[in-house]
Structure 1
Amino acid sequence: MKKPVLFALLLLLTAVGVFSCQKTSSGDPPSPNPSLDRKALLTQWADSLVKPGYQRFNDKLDILSAKTAAFTTAPTTASLVEARQAWQAAYLEWQKVELFEFGPAQSVSLRNHFNIYPTDAPGINQNISTGSYNFELATAIPQQGFPALDYLLNGVALNDAAIVQQYVASANHRRYLTDVVAKMSQTFALVYAQWNGSYRDAFINNTGTDASSSLSRAINAYSLYYERYLRAGKVGIPAGVMTGTSRPEKIEAYYLKGSLPLQLATTAHTTVQQFFNGRAGRPSLKSYLDALGAKDSRTGQLLTDILNNQFGVAFQRLNSLGPDLFPTMTARNADAVACYNEMQRAVRLIKVDMTSALGITVTYVDNDGD
């Protein structure tokens, strides 16, 4: 009696197991939350932000190259003004892509070749005088890029007529200006080609969250850019937050001054917030964090709402520093420091709260004393 009962029981259990397996395999798998699809987020960044942004910047860089070539070929006041206008347009467009310092841009140290300021005017003059220089040397970092062009197009003499005469009289000045732009075009071409080649697919398929993942690298670049190059570089250092003494000569576009330094800063800040929010209905940092349910532990408010609110407050403070940042850094230094403080509140939200919610480890060290 025992054997038939045991055999029947075994058959029953086997049948239940088979039925269960068939039911599981034939049913639809659980649908993941599309807002938590990291590959979709990376694809959105690559195809709708990085590549189009680089294309627009490349177009502006081509115009800059053409206008500076026309100026060095025939230096006149008119050709100087056109070269300067092309420089301003490209510089503003640069603010929209500088935060993409990951992947190919990081590999070639794109920012070092394009926008380390204040520029080294004595070093530039020495290079022009000797006719000997190497833009790959660490000492040459502040002797190239947009800040060097600021000096070359706006600061080598007291007025436009004198600047033109300097280029008419000096072949070395003409050569240096040409070489600075050529180096920018050459370096950016390497980055642009990789994004239009194999790197795009490598980027969107690297979907993890470890330090080598695309998400980690992009988020670290984003956080570093806001903290060091926007908050500190464009506001904190010229305002003297770290030293206690205002240094207005350290503003971006120092030699042209006027409204451009603030335009560069506000364009950069707007770009940071737009990158965060993305486009309605498409994957973005905001939609990803919302899908994670990221909230402030103290208030229960959505982290994205808090951060967007802080971005808005910081931008208002920044925009109020106009129209000319140079006198503001001294005459209204308290306002500049207040702007820095509001931006610092956003830094904490990005660097601590946001990275924690994303499961991303901060891999850079900022040592400006805050």
Structure 2
Amino acid sequence: MSPLFRRLVPAAVLLSLALVVSCGDSQNTALRTAFLKELGEDTILPTYREFDTRTETLASALAALEATPTEATLTEAQSAWRATRSPWQSQESFHIGPSEELHTGAAVDQVPSTTGIDSLLAGDSSLAEAAVAELGANRKGMLAMEYVLFDADGGNAAVLARLTTAEGNAGARRRAYLKALGAVMHKDAEAVHTAWEPEQGNYIAQLATAGNSGSKYATQKDAVDEVVNRLIACAETTELKLSKPLGFATGGTIRPEQEEARRSDNSLKDLGDTLQGMERVWLGANGNGGLSRVVAASNKKLDETVRGELAAVRSALEAIPPPLRTALYNHRESVEDARAALAQLRATLTTEVVANLGVTIKFNDNDGD
């Protein structure tokens, strides 16, 4: 503070200003502490518990399909796959801590090498759980399962024919592969879930006590930075899931092969679930907390802007006639509207929210794409 300012402002006013700043800092710290605790307890932990439970159900359904390949067991396995996909997509916006350290994302949701999978299935190498666990990430996880479980063109009749073919042992190998994939992914889900559980890995405490002794996060800012950076990365990745098949990198030529979950026609549901995760980070699990409460304490207008942009993304996604693979051609404008809404949300998060919270932007996996 300048000497001139000190002379012009009475001592009592200076004391009042100091108290306001001090109280503001204290309130801000308390709000962030409450946010981090709430995020872990009400959003992250319940989501990973759900993901663990649903992967167990999926593993059982794939084991039943392996033993008895029928229309009924195939449909059950497909339903279990879709149910498992939902919490996984939701966690994209808070994919921090253990999921990063355990490389759960690569294990669960890597873009598959279809030629690699075909080569594996055509060979005679072991497809036991232990052997499949050692495969590269592009031959494991949910999208590898999708490649074998679904056929958007031929339908279940084509899938079942490949699972039951008597030619050599091709059908048996496909079923064994699916069974092993389910078992491996359940272990991955169990590992990330237990890492967060209070009575086990207790990472939830690491997040809640950020800045205190014993926490992985040396400062509270480090934890908030990680959460906000992840939220921004999620918004960017979600935008790319539309801009890539729209052909933004190829002069507007539609690239259907760039649609992520095209075989199951689950892409729009995936996007909605991912948005739900972003909403929970911003609004809290019950709609009245999250980063919204932290930001609104100093800038209600900015909070209202982000709330409006989240709602605009949801409205735009819901306006796309399913499935996405046909909407890309027949309702391109609606897909472009959703992409634009996501781009606007990302821009606001990257600029105004970052400035409001004093976040340090870090590079993410999409930088340089």
Bin for the TM-score computed over the shorter chain: 0.7 to 0.9
CA distance 1:149–1:211, change in 2 (3 Å) = farther
- 2:190 corresponding residue in structure 1: 189
Unaligned 5+ runs, structure 2: 1-21, 126-130, 212-216
Aligned to 2:228: 219
What SS class does the counterpart of residue 93 from structure 2 fall into? coil
**Alpha-carbon separation, structure 1, partners of 2:320 and 2:287:** 34
Task: Please give the TM-score of this superposition, normalised by the length of structure 2.
Answer: 0.81
Q: CA shift at 1:211, angstroms?
A: 9.7
Match of 1:107 in 2: 101
Task: Tell whether 2:146 aligns with 1:150.
Answer: yes
Of 274, 278, 284, which residue of structure 2 is paired with 1:278?
A: 284
Task: State whether structure 2 residue 205 is matched by structure 1 residue 201.
Answer: yes
Amino acid at match of 1:178: K
Structure 2 contact 93–281 (Cα < 8 Å) conserved: no
Q: Who is 1:85 aligned against?
A: 79
- Correspondence 1:252 to 2:260: yes
The structural deviation recorded for 1:368 is: 5.8
Counterpart for residue 265 of structure 1: 271
The answer (yes or no) to whether the contact 1:60–1:89 under 8 Å persists in 2 is: yes
* CA–CA distance in structure 2, aligned partners of residues 236 and 209 of structure 1: 37
SS in 2 for 1:360: coil
The corresponding residue for 1:343 is 342
What is the aligned-residue identity percentage? Answer: 21
- 1:294 aligned to 2:290? no
Aligned to 1:236: 243
Equivalent runs, 1:69-84 vs 2, <5 Å: 69-84=63-78
User: 2: CA distance between counterparts of 1:309 and 1:209?
Assistant: 34
In 1, the alpha carbon distance for the partners of 2:278 and 2:134 equals 29
Task: Supply the AA of the counterpart residue of 1:96.
Answer: S
| 1:312, distance to aligned residue in structure 2 (A) | 1.7
Q: Please report the TM-score for the alignment, with normalisation by the length of structure 1.
A: 0.80
Larger radius of gyration: 1
Report the 3-state secondary structure (helix = DSSP H, G, I; strand = E; otherwise coil) of the residue aligned with 1:86. Answer: helix
In structure 1, runs of 5+ residues without a counterpart are 1-28, 296-301
**Is the Cα contact below 8 Å between 1:50 and 1:100 reproduced in 2?**
yes
1:309 has 2:295 as partner: no
Kindly provide the CA deviation profile for residues 296-335 of structure 1, in whole angstroms up to 9, marking residues without a partner as x.
xxxxxx1111111122222222221122110111233233
